[in-house]
Structure 1
């Protein structure tokens, strides 16, 4: 996730102080990706160093305000125009866990798959419930639309993971069947 670009996008609406950026980011993403306030200020420092934001005084409570510079606006426009790169997908802990479990002594891969399926099914139910709640609120409001888009992405990702786990289980079952000797060749009692 690009916190850097998320902060630039929020600053496009006007100057903000760090904790407000954190609050706005979390609200916009439906609380799905919480930010550490230190992460916000570290990112603001780098953006300032790179000339994309500048300090613009303080507000009435004495909090330092940050504003988008022209270089920041240019970078933000370029980010919106650029597709998200999929050439080198991020490492996926679940995929790594399954490939390591295959062929490992003492590990029942089907149990690993089933434990993950239970977990992701519960997450899917939670995402669907939160999506229904978001739909019941003001669905035409931009803030709710943003939250709804994030929740729908989470629903689709969970559904895809369940389908992939089903596929893994089916493939493991076929592998097990192929490895078993035919019934007439099995050792007798």
Structure 2
């Protein structure tokens, strides 16, 4: 898991550097406009790359939420009596604590990557999110049936216009 985290952090740093580079280019083109008022349109990434990265990041984000939900369910089902965990390592952390920490860091790095991709390739993210929102109408069960793509909303670069486009017209077919 540490190698996955390293690669994700590296990819996130590259994307952040790319964004900063385009911001500086835009600032050079328009030196009279303050930095906080510049609107930055990132060039889109390769479609095949975006498709692959979206599938991968969606998997990591879904994995995090499934583990989080199962952890919450376990805590709710356990008795209130504290358990003694004898599996502590020499540094005082259990394997489960270290694993959860790594998964949380993977989730954070994946979220940053999704934010960048949704900014540069909104159409690819929009299609996945819109389909997930539409399919929410037919779900009768629990959290396991929620499409993983719906979780992309929390990590996406959303503007008012983008958010409106996701939810506009979704429920008009019901009436």
Q: State the TM-score, normalized to the length of structure 2.
A: 0.33
Query: Which of structures 1 and 2 has the bigger CA Rg?
Result: 1
Q: State the TM-score, normalized to the length of structure 1.
A: 0.31
Bigger helix share: 2
By relative contact order (CA 8 Å, sep 6+), the higher-ranking structure is: 2
